[in-house]
Structure 1
Amino acid sequence: MNMFENVKTIFLDYDGTIHNSIKIYGNAFRKAYSYLVNEGVAPEKVWNDDEISYWLGFSSKVMWKEFMPNLDPNIIAKASKMIGKEMLRQINNGEAVLYQEAIETLRYLTEKGYNLVFLSNCSISYRDKARQTFGLDEYFVEMACSEEYEYIPKYEILSKLKKKYPNDMVMIGDRFQDIEAGKKNSILTIGCNYGFHQPSELDDADVRIDNIKELRNIL
């Protein structure tokens, strides 16, 4: 028996699942870090993409709490705003890249009649720019982001969202926050090996995929 055969609602993470976000996040992070160095609150350091990608999937609130918890809140606010503004600038310049076959897979799932729900630990402005740039309203019945929920954990947001949609459900993503969200809400999970997960983060996923197009064979 296919464990996914009765699924009607699919919750999808965005960065690292649909969007190859390191392409724009890496430079934005480095710009903000340079600002911290210039302010004298961080040591000089050359960051590579693998190091930076660790923070993809965290809400900005949690990211700063873990990354540099003792920073002045005003400096955090400026650096965070800098990252967001730089990412939006790159999206406007056409530098954002979705994973190959992402749109085709979203179209396939929509045509199959699934309720697709976007669920990301991102800001409203970032969500809206992604929606506009890639025409995501064509595929998603709802696009939820953590800023709308005051950056509470993703599993808590999912517990609110799932009440609106029919069972069975699946949560798809590349980070531990996604698998945790599914498990804590007693729904199926699919881990994306191609994203930005750290070792063992996806160990509890019900299924793991190496390419988003594999969803067409599972769902």
Structure 2
Amino acid sequence: MLDKAKTIVLDYDGTLHDSIKIYGPAFRKAYKFLVDQKQVPPRIWEDEEIIQWLGLSSKEMWEAFMPDMNPSIREQAGKIIGEEMNDLLQNKKAVLYEGALETLEYLKNRGYKLVFLSNCGRSYMEYSRDLFGLDHYFDEMLCAQDYDFIPKYEILSQVMVQLEREIVVVGDRYKDMEAGKRNNLQTIGCQYGYAQGDELLEADYKINHIKELCKLL
């Protein structure tokens, strides 16, 4: 067990939130727009293909997906994704992993300080907060948009001075592991999330379900 940990920094998408449920439809809507604009050929996207971009900031996603696209068209497509995900959140289509809220409640009751850290935009974070009552569990909620979408490890480096040590970082993607390692913090990799290949190879601990945090912490 990580007995010394006092603050837990948690990723959201792929760690607490099964975000493909709303990201998949939003991505497909944006892709249809790109087809209509004759920017891309029609095709069907499976969830297994789309999840590679979950956990990335919007900027990182487009740089990986279509870096040479006209910036204006790309901005419009990105806006479609963001607005559709927010609409789906408002219509309560988002789903947390089973046991996520119970795990947060357990950690809160154990006296841990919980910090939400996501590569998302502010409106997405706020809609998620309101839908799931996340402010009941989290002492602080941080989104990449408020930091001009700099990398997670840089955001964490900026806020660490305000956090109670020792700190452990929990997430499902390389960006989360990087945030921990670059700041000399322990990491917990969520193997049930959206990691690709060996992204979680260097995690200090690995879990196969969010509830397993209750055994580690």
Q: Structure 2-normalised TM-score?
A: 0.98
The residue type paired with residue 186 of structure 1 is N
1:3-152 residue pairs with structure 2 within 5 A?
4-152=2-150
1:88 Cα deviation from its structure 2 partner: 1.2
Cα deviation 1:168-202 (Å, max 9, x = unaligned):
11000000000011000000000001000001000
Aligned residues: 217
Q: CA deviation at 1:65?
A: 1.2
The one-letter amino acid of 1:152's match is I
SS in 1 for 2:53: coil
Q: Aligned partners of 1:153 and 1:164: how far apart in 2?
A: 18
Q: Equivalent residue for 1:188?
A: 186
Secondary structure of 2:117's counterpart equals strand
- Runs of 5+ consecutive residues of structure 2 not aligned to the other structure: none
* RMSD between superposed Cα atoms in Å: 0.7
Separation of aligned partners in 2, 1:65 and 1:198? 17
State the alpha-carbon separation in 2 of the partners of residues 170 and 190 from structure 1.
7
Select the residue among 150, 154, 157 that pairs with 2:155: 157
160-169 vs 97-106, which deviates more?
160-169
Q: Deviations over 1:36-89 (max 9, x none)?
A: 111011122211001000000100011111111111111111111100111111
Structure 1 runs not aligned, ≥5 long: none
After TM superposition, give the deviation of residue 123 of structure 1 in Å.
0.3
Give 4+ residue runs of structure 1 displaced > 3 Å after superposition.
none
**Percent of residue pairs bearing the same amino acid type:** 53
1:97-156: CA deviation from partner (whole Å, max 9, x where unpaired): 000000000001011111100000000000000001000000111110000000001110
Counterpart in 2 of 1:172? 170
Farther-moved stretch of structure 1 (70-79 vs 187-196): 70-79
Does 2:211 align with 1:197? no
Amino acid in structure 2 at the alignment position of 1:9:
T
Q: Find the aligned partners of 1:44 and 1:207 in 2 and give their Cα distance.
A: 41
The one-letter code matched in structure 1 to 2:197 is P
